[in-house]
Amino acid sequence: MKRMPAAAMAVVLLLASSSLARAQQAGVDEKRPAVESTATSDPLSQLNPDQRKIYDAATRQFSSELYPDAFAAFKTLMEQLPPGPTRLVLSKYASEAALNIGDYSFARNTLVPMFEADRNDWQAVALLARLYAETGDKQARDAALAQLVDLHKRAVSPPIAQMKQILIERISIPNGFIRVWYSLEPWGSYKTYLFCRVFNTSGQQVLRVTLESADFDQPQFAKEHPDLAAAGARRFSLDGFGQEEKMPDGTVKGTHMTFGFFDGQPAYDTVRQQVIEIAKGSRSAMSKTEHNKSQ
């Protein structure tokens, strides 16, 4: 689509202190532990003073992306506690830290029993969806995502009812890595379905790529494909946004790119592959627009 890029996305966390798998209305938070109990009372209050110190240190390590250290600390705390709310919360913290360091065995062994004990545990489902995505189990990934969307629609708890998207996977590429968020419902002015951040090997964001289905693209789609439109299909676009650059005159330079269109919603893996090609520099934009805006 031809349009100006949206403003920088603000982080809106939906849980009291943190959000599962970077859940937010229209943004992402990379450096906070992503799980916390949604109960009225705080089960972490069951930690003794020494355990609380370990917990506080682990959350700081997580924020600093020292995931191996955070994982070891959360795992130690988890193993010190009997079954109950506190252990459940720490098990989720440990599982996400395990995903961040690629310890998929620990994450699987911890999350699957958690899910089997409570199939409405949306936090466990979200982390399992990421586990399956990152280990290439497409069928299990899609089933977990479908269940998460169902939990969202049924509003099994206030946080999942409000949630718009979850971190579904981290993809390594030779020149960096990609983080992909999956929308539980289309959000924003341009109806975003997938939101991707591309980072270089130094961990700096260099590009954003989104799968969108803007309303203003639909009249032309309906003219070209009236049968598809009548059946409820929509036109989608794959859009890119370069990093904004402050210019000498005080304005901010931004870049919007269009990489392609889809008639009907494309499969996740189709978009995933194209995003990887874009991030690696092997897929070029079909159009590119630069603009300057005042700060």
- What pLDDT does residue 214 have? 96
- What pLDDT does residue 30 have? 55
CB atoms within 10 A of CB 260: 15
Over range 94-102, report the average pLDDT.
Answer: 96
Query: What is the reported pTM?
Result: 0.85
Tell the burial category of 253 from Cβ atoms under 10 Å away from its Cβ (0-12, 13-18, 19+): middle
Comparing 178 with 19, the larger pLDDT belongs to 178
pLDDT in tens, 76-85: 999 999 999 9
- What pLDDT does residue 165 have? 95
- What pLDDT does residue 245 have? 75
Domain ranges of the chain: 20-163, 168-294
Beta bridge partners of 196: 180, 209
SS3 220: helix
Over range 81-109, report the average pLDDT.
Answer: 95
Over range 270-284, report the average pLDDT.
Answer: 97
pLDDT in tens, 1-43: 444 332 222 222 222 233 333 333 334 555 555 554 445 467 7
List the beta strands (DSSP E) in the chain: 165-173, 176-187, 192-199, 205-212, 235-242, 245-246, 251-263, 287-294
Question: Token digits for 122?
Answer: 């949306």
Q: Is residue 233 scored above 50 in pLDDT?
A: yes
Q: Name which CATH class applies to 20-163.
A: mainly alpha
pLDDT in tens, 47-91: 999 999 999 999 999 999 999 999 999 999 999 999 999 999 999
pLDDT in tens, 163-172: 999 999 999 9
Over range 104-110, report the average pLDDT.
Answer: 98
